[in-house]
């Protein structure tokens, strides 16, 4: 079994050159001071039990960065220096993200950091706690709240605020409150309009592909260490606990809307289509504090997330940040967000918003400037570089998103995948193209010999491109040179990962190297968003839309099947009528109606519907009138996606 290797001389040189030539002030300790400011208590334990045998969270895995809360604290000058296998800027961010515990950031405002990828903010209301963004998982949120109550008092949770629709900002809600507390009116749940729909849809239609790619993005299968996963940029990584969801009781529908929550006044600013489809900032006038959700963070964020999602609107993002400055300047002394540490001071807060605004506006404008000069997507990504005034700010460094892939995102949003060159209009798919490329280049052995020379010369980007062709050209690895090429490609990805400043880029490269050496993991692995709460939140029409994506047209060719559905736990707990039918190898559905010529009518719950169409059998609770094998026929026409599909091999 091939183990990870050390940094080559070229990578060592790259890391040294990066530190010498980058515009940041490496002596600036402001972020380290701010990340520790207001510390009340460290976590009681570093490991948090998960729903199975594996922990949901284990901060001790990152002790190689420095022990939190002990002699040699991260950032005090005695913690470990960056090894050659980690970009020194990413190492700095990884150390900052080790500052875990309960922090008081203002009178009655506290944060719980280092319990998950995101963080919880707790506001002391008149009677209880207002909790902002309850992490990814129930277990981690409960652990964080236990620490809060130990030091702030055993108060009830009077409200939960979801800043936006990503799972790390709502998934742990049942670790801080219960459905019963919400149903009784003792706890409010506040969210931007469209939050639940956006949260569910992102994890349904392309959920299998996103989950698989997220394993790469967060380094789920990598060991934690200087040659493995060190950080995700936004935080250490995502937790692997139980995901929950409680539907909002209060929906924010317009900017300027205000609520008084447990005696605390809050003014809201909607920011749809920025970092998430449904997102909002909000201001606390009595505290002069502004929550910027995830529209600001101490890194360059993703306009396109490598796990896969719709491209975000850089221009809208910048404009909403400017709107925040206009609305809240002169009224704000503290800015806090859903990741990282706050910014204190009136002037400092507005400078922070302004530099992040300029960051996204620059990427938007300069990408289109170059595109309008005739550059293609790849050419734009190579040409656009941040000016030092922006790049020198630590909060703008590409620890999560990168300039390169965000420029590609802007190009894609406006111009799509096509370069305009007819050669790119209908190219061959990867495997047959690879076969032709390798043949043209004289065969695998010839390519491998040239690639070894380029590897020794440190030309890793080019080596990755040509060896990827060799691996894809010979799926059965019949040529011995292919096996050697695969090993060298793993070595190449490894060196690219070591030099990456972005946590996700590092993880993608290193997981690619790991899978070339050891194969793809069995099972889905990583974070699983399809929890019972998520599934039951899916509206039936969306569920049937997702079902249509799995229909194998060859399996049902020439067939017609009509099934009426009575779903007993539809919207608002009422029964819903739907009909689905298959004809011309397409699955259609309509809501609020049945067809008289149906082969069967089924009365069932959403879970029973999922089980039936998933091939898990007909539950005893299903009432079925008509042909008894209707669901069996339908299930036989549906694909079952492989959650461990190959990525770095054909």
d(CA 41, CA 150): 10
pLDDT greater at residue 442 or residue 641? 442
pLDDT for residue 591: 95
pLDDT for residue 468: 96
| Tens-place pLDDT, residues 551-583 | 999 999 999 999 999 999 876 678 999 999 999
Taking the whole predicted model, whether its pTM rises above 0.85 is answered as: yes
Q: Which helix (H) or strand (E) holds 624?
A: strand 623-626
| Tens-place pLDDT, residues 355-406 | 999 999 999 999 999 999 999 999 999 999 999 999 999 999 999 999 999 9
Position 224 confidence tier, pLDDT thresholds 50, 70, 90:
very high
Q: What number of other Cβ atoms are within 10 A of residue 345's Cβ?
A: 13
Mean per-residue pLDDT, 476-485: 90
Assess contact for 257 and 251: CB atoms under 8 A: no
529-538, 600-609, 615-624: least confident range: 529-538
Assess contact for 177 and 187: CB atoms under 8 A: yes
Domains and CATH numbers, the chain: 29-390 (3.60.15.30), 539-636 (3.30.1050.10)
d(CA 401, CA 308): 13
pLDDT more than 90, % of the chain:
80
Mean per-residue pLDDT, 594-620: 82
| Tens-place pLDDT, residues 231-262 | 999 999 999 999 999 999 999 999 999 999 99
Detail the DSSP E strand segments found in 184-337.
188-192, 250-252, 258-261, 264-270, 280-284, 289-291, 334-336
Per the prediction, the chain carries an average pLDDT of 92
Assess contact for 19 and 123: CB atoms under 8 A: no
Token pair belonging to 605: 């719950």
pLDDT greater at residue 12 or residue 542? 12
Q: Which helix (H) or strand (E) holds 111?
A: strand 109-113
Assess contact for 221 and 525: CB atoms under 8 A: yes
Specify the pairing of strand 334-336 against strand 289-291: parallel
Contacts of 365 (CB under 8 A, 6+ apart): none
Mean per-residue pLDDT, 39-61: 94
| Tens-place pLDDT, residues 20-39 | 999 999 999 999 999 999 99
pLDDT for residue 207: 80
Question: Reduced to 3 states, what is the DSSP secondary structure of residue 200?
Answer: helix
pLDDT for residue 70: 47
The residue assigned the tokens 């690895």 is 477
Assess contact for 118 and 241: CB atoms under 8 A: no
């Amino acid at each position: 079994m091939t183990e990870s290797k050390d940094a080559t001389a070229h990578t060592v040189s790259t890391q040294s050159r990066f530190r010498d030539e980058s515009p940041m002030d490496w002596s600036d300790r402001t972020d380290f001071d701010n990340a520790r400011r207001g510390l009340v208590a460290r976590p009681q334990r570093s490991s948090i039990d998960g729903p199975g045998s594996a922990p949901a969270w284990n901060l001790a895995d990152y002790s190689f960065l420095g022990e939190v809360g002990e002699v040699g604290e991260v950032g005090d000058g005695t913690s470990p220096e960056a090894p050659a296998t980690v970009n020194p800027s990413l190492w700095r961010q990884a150390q900052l993200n080790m500052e875990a515990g309960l922090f008081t950031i203002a009178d009655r405002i506290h944060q719980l950091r280092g319990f998950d990828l995101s963080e919880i903010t707790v506001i002391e209301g008149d009677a209880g706690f207002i909790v902002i963004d309850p992490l990814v998982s129930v277990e981690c949120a409960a652990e964080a709240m236990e620490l809060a109550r130990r030091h702030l008092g055993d108060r009830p949770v009077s409200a939960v605020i979801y800043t936006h629709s990503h799972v790390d900002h709502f998934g742990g809600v049942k670790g801080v409150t219960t459905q019963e507390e919400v149903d009784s009116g003792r706890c409010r749940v506040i969210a931007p309009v469209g939050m639940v729909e956006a949260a569910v849809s992102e994890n349904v239609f392309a959920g299998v592909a996103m989950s698989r790619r997220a394993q790469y993005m967060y380094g789920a299968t990598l060991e934690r260490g200087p040659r493995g996963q060190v950080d995700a940029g936004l935080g250490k990584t995502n937790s692997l606990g139980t995901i929950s969801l409680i539907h909002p009781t209060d929906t924010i529908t317009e900017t300027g809307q205000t609520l008084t929550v447990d005696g605390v006044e809050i003014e809201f600013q909607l920011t749809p289509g920025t970092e998430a489809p449904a997102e909002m900032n909000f201001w606390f006038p009595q505290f002069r504090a502004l929550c910027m959700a995830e529209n600001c963070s101490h890194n360059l964020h993703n306009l396109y997330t490598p796990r896969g999602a719709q491209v975000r609107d850089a221009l809208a993002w910048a404009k909403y940040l400017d709107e925040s400055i206009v609305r809240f300047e002169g009224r704000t002394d503290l800015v806090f967000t859903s990741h990282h540490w706050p910014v204190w001071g009136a002037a400092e807060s507005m400078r922070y918003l302004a530099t992040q605004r300029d960051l996204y506006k620059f990427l938007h404008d300069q990408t289109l400037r170059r595109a309008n000069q005739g550059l293609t997507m790849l050419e734009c990504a190579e040409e656009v570089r941040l000016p030092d005034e922006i790049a020198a700010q630590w909060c703008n460094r590409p620890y999560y998103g990168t300039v390169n892939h965000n420029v590609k995102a802007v190009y894609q949003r406006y111009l799509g995948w096509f370069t305009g060159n007819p050669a790119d209009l209908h190219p061959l798919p990867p495997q047959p193209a690879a076969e032709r490329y390798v043949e043209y280049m004289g065969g695998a052995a010839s390519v491998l010999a040239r690639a070894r020379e380029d590897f020794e010369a440190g030309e890793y980007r080019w080596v990755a491109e040509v060896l990827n062709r060799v691996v894809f050209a010979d799926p059965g690895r019949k040529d011995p040179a292919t096996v050697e090429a695969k090993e060298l490609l793993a070595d190449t990805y490894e060196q690219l990962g070591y030099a990456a400043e972005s946590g996700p880029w590092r993880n993608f490269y290193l997981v690619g190297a790991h899978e070339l050496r050891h194969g793809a993991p069995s099972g889905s692995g990583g974070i699983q968003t399809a929890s019972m709460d998520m599934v039951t939140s899916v509206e039936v029409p969306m569920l049937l839309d997702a079902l249509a994506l799995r229909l194998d047209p060859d399996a049902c060719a020439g067939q017609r099947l009509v099934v009426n559905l009575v779903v007993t736990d539809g919207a608002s707990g009422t029964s819903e009528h739907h009909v689905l039918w298959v004809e011309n190898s397409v699955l259609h559905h309509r809501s609020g109606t049945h067809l008289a010529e149906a082969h069967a009518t089924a009365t069932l719950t959403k879970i029973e519907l999922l089980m039936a169409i998933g091939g898990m059998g007909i539950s005893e609770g299903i009432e079925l009138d008509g042909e008894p094998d209707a669901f069996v026929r339908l299930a036989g026409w549906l694909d079952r996606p492989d959650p461990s599909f190959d990525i770095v091999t054909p």
